[in-house]
A and B are shown apart, each in its own frame.
Chain A
């Protein structure tokens, strides 16, 4: 196996995107994604069984397209990587079985990797070009690196000491993911699915200060102090916020007043973004993190990007945001992390592992 510039094919199927990406070392060759998002619109959220059915039908065509786009054959590939968790169990199963079949049929080594760490790994791809870099070793991570991941499926702040074997979860949501909260509130406001872009757009025309929604888990009993942290110092909760929005809408209706949808959207967005960035920056400062990567689909949110930039720069933290197609779930991030594992000399996972819908971030590869 070529361990200096490995050609790695990555497979992603943890939610509603079927992704196949191919990288050579840290150079991105292709990022092919087939999404079942349109099929979930009428339900107002991702339906696991519908996503799983879509993965089954999308896998081979997506693989074929990725190979053609990267202009490589399966024989050229050095290793295969697949998301084995966390994610929707039935959806993961399709990608994992496909990846194992690919490994058996081609005789190539297989890496079972962590989806969340892959969101970070994508940040190690070189930007703006397909030319392989002269690196002969894994790209070294700067010291004190963190990652803020915000999507429809997860909301986490991580510390990464080594992308291949030392990742720590500093905080995460204890109920809904931020993107899920956007979807639920968008439905309450009659804005359709996916909720993120709809609320982001409408919020620009509203007054975020017109209403104040609660910031979850910010009371002293949860926060504690830096010296004696409370039980949820760096954690988030969005289910109470969703309830508060519902109550607010009901109150306007009960009074027979027109619901100020734009103001509610703006105030809701402000509450989400404020608490995410405040806690993320707090976690960074108290853990000596000076470099942060923002990942996940909600990285597309204009207000989240703005406030994250603002607060990071005020705290002296350098922020990196990968191009959006690499922030949302995709196969390139899986391939990128797979390549790091190959370059670091990590052994493949074999073909006997099980997908793990609640795989912890401390498990970078199975």
Chain B
């Protein structure tokens, strides 16, 4: 199975993953920037396909990170994934973006049995979720995703860029303190879960916050 995975919940990233490839990786790219998705994502995917010599015919499914993440950036990846799925006539799946980091934690040498993944939610808040690990299993999402203040997180080791930003109030794990969700891990996670016969999400974005719109109150009369 060959998957084109896309995630723009923080940085812009895409990957081609396949269960036929070593470590499941055919090709991938990720930016460091979190604000240029509209410019870099499509050229990045175009190059990815060309380098791997892969065309729409070869791809079996599209996977998109569905956040949580800053709205405008998040949508750029989801609309890209939806469009590819439509044009190529391929199934489209969503994966919660924090799962990408959780998988990397599970594969690292010093992972805790229970941990938090956190990313920057701006406005002095973080997006976070709690995971549990059992031997040789994929990380299990136990709670979340949520948005809130870092200081209010459960007292567990915290992985991801959201931990690094607030290392004064959370137990930030140093090696992961700048880690962002990326399409490569997301695609590998999707591949593993599909192989295990598990369900993935649809491509609906996990905004977690309402739009800031306020219904205007009645106008004050001049009496």
Which residues from chain A sit less than 8 Å from chain B, CB to CB?
42-44, 47, 49-50, 52-53, 55-56, 59-60, 63-64, 74, 89-90, 93-94, 96-98, 100-106, 187-188, 190, 249-251, 253-254, 256, 351-355
Separation of A354 and B12 alpha carbons in the complex (Å):
14
A44-B216, A93-B38, A253-B222 known; A352 vs B79 contact (CB < 8 Å): no
Residue pair B75, A52 in contact (C-beta under 8 Å): yes
From B24-32, B127-135, B171-179, B207-215, the one touching the partner chain is: B207-215
Report B61-82 CB contacts with A as 1/0, cut-off 8 Å: 0000000000110011111111
Residue pair B87, A352 in contact (C-beta under 8 Å): no
Q: Which of A97, A190, A250, A256 makes the CB contact (< 8 A) with B76?
A: A97
Separation of A355 and B76 alpha carbons in the complex (Å):
12
Residue pair A98, B80 in contact (C-beta under 8 Å): yes
Separation of A184 and B46 alpha carbons in the complex (Å):
45
Shortest Cβ distance from residue A85 to the other chain B in the assembled complex, whole angstroms: 11
Asked if B42 is at the interface of the complex by the 8 Å CB criterion, the answer is yes
Mind listing 17 A-B residue pairs with CB under 8 Å?
Answer: A43-B216, A49-B212, A50-B211, A50-B213, A53-B205, A59-B82, A63-B83, A63-B86, A74-B87, A93-B72, A97-B38, A97-B83, A100-B38, A101-B45, A101-B79, A102-B87, A104-B49
Residue pair B87, A105 in contact (C-beta under 8 Å): yes
Separation of A167 and B83 alpha carbons in the complex (Å):
33
Separation of A253 and B211 alpha carbons in the complex (Å):
34
Interface of B is mostly: helix
Which 3 residue pairs spanning A and B have beta carbons closest together? A100-B42, A49-B211, A101-B83
Shortest Cβ distance from residue A19 to the other chain B in the assembled complex, whole angstroms: 15
Residue pair A100, B86 in contact (C-beta under 8 Å): no
For A64, list chain B residues within 8 Å (CB): 86
Report B188-216 CB contacts with A as 1/0, cut-off 8 Å: 00000000000000000101000111111
Q: Please give 8 more A-B residue pairs, beta carbons under 8 A apart, in addition to A97-B41, A104-B42, A353-B39.
A: A43-B216, A53-B75, A53-B205, A90-B72, A94-B79, A98-B80, A102-B83, A251-B222
